[in-house]
Each structure stands twice: as C-alpha cells, then as structure tokens.
Amino acid sequence: MATLRSAGLLVGANGATRSRISEEISLVRHQVMRTAAGAAQAEGRSGRIILVTSARPGEGKTFVSLNLAGSIAAGGGAPVLLVDADGKRGSLTELLGLAESPGLRQLAAGAPTPSPASLAIATELPRLSILPQGLSQEAAPATSSGAAAILRLSRSLPDHLIILDSPPCLATSDPTGLAAVAGQVLMVVQAERTRRAEVEAALDLVDACPVLQLVLNKMRNTSNDAFGAYDYGGPYGGGGG
C-alpha cells in the first residue's frame, strides 16, 4: 500500500479521509461505471475497457488512471485491472517498481503463458491488480498487437473493468489503435494549460471509440460551489463540520 501511495494513490485505501479530490474522483467513477454498464457490445470492442489518455504529456492521466482504478476497486463496483499501456519514464511500471515483471509487452508478443490473466499482479488494495508494461527485451508492442492483446485480456477476465493508462494522443499513435477496442475514452485535460486546438486534435485521433469524455484536471478552486468548500472534518476526519 505504501508503494501505491508513493505512486500517487489518494483514494481507495482503508481509513482514507474524504477530501475534495476523493469526491471528484468518485464523481468520475460513477460516470465511468454508468457508461460501462450501458455500453452496447460490438465485435472487436469491449465496454469494460476504459482508455485514459491526454493530448500532451504531464496533464495527469496516470494520476487519474491510478485513482480511478483505486476508487472503483474500493467501491466494490467491479474488480479492476490497471494496465500500463504507456511505459515511458514516470509510468506506472516505473512508479510501482515493476520494471522487471512481465506484462503487456510479453502478452502482445505472444510469449508462452498459462493465460493472459496470469500476468496480472495483485495489490494490497483488494480487487485491484496491475499489468505492467513488461520486460524491455521485448520490443514495444505494435498498435495492432497491443489492441489485440487487450481484447484477449478482457475475454480472460470477464468480470473485470480494464483501465488503460495510454500515452498522450499527440505523442504517439498508440491511443488511436487502443480506442478502437475501448468502450469509452477519458481525455484528461490540464486546466489553464492545454489549448483547445490540442484537445480537439486529440479527440479526433480517438474518435473510433463511441464514447469520449473529458476530465478537467489541476483546476484551481476559487468558488464556494465546488468540492472542498465543505469541511470534510466532522464525522469523517474529526474536528468541526
């Protein structure tokens, strides 16, 4: 759990206090779960696959991916597999110290394994597992093989939601291919930094997915009508309310 915390997990752990961030992540969780529950099944696509991406690096997609996965797992809505489909410096694989563990690279390369699900690594947070990027001696998966591997993974874990932390859309073509098998895309947008044209260009690259949703990140709280205006002390963390 300490490793998950050091990687940025702020919600989901036993004893965690309510905060503005945990409440906002909870809203995102409810929307994601509703969309997944109502997703129509289609050949070559799974409504249980959620692609998290951004236009540019540094907008917070990995933070959102990790905390969304933790919130869903802790909320009991479904077991969750969080997949590092990025693998670059600062990725989930690096943050969680899993660089020496097999993962998506081996799955996409067709490496022998009892089942795709056997590569998932359980965490101390019940119902949350991680699939790292994988051993570096395997070449980075091509977009088509990576998407096919994710579909095989989804079929081998029929009860799980699969959250993909993918690269930024304007940095690589990987999200475009992954969007073709995803049931929904969460586009993380950094407030007061990302340009509208960049967001529109990124959305165009993942429009193969039928459901595109925006998550505004790093927004400064300047009004009393946002989460955080209410004192979450009181019954949740001690002190007045």
d(CA 72, CA 42): 24
CA–CA distance, 70 with 178 (Å, rounded to integer) = 22
Output the pLDDT for position 231. Answer: 37
User: Could you give all domains of the chain from N- to C-terminal order, each with its CATH number?
Assistant: 40-219 (3.40.50.300)
Q: What is the pLDDT of residue 77?
A: 76
By residue count, the chain amounts to 241
**Cα 63 → chain centroid:** 8
Q: What is the pLDDT of residue 44?
A: 82
133 touches 93 (CB < 8 A): yes
Residue whose token pair is 């050091």: 6
Question: 25: closest CA among 6, 8, 37?
Answer: 8
Residue 70: the pLDDT is: 94
**CB-based contact 191:219 (threshold 8 Å):** yes
- Specify whether the CB–CB gap between 50 and 32 falls below 8 A: yes
Distance, in Å, from the CA atom of 237 to the CA atom of 104, rounded to the nearest integer, reads: 40
Question: Residue 139: what pLDDT?
Answer: 66
**How confident is the model at residue 203, as a pLDDT?**
97
Which of 75, 43, 22 lies closest to 230 in space, CA to CA?
Answer: 22
Residue with tokens 């969304």: 68
Which amino acid is present at 133?
Q
DSSP H/E element including 82: strand 80-84
Q: Radius of gyration over alpha carbons of the chain, in Å?
A: 17
Give the DSSP letter of residue 22: H
Q: What is the pLDDT of residue 241?
A: 29
Which stretches in the chain have pLDDT values below 70?
12-18, 40, 111, 114, 137-140, 142, 221-241
pLDDT at 96: 96
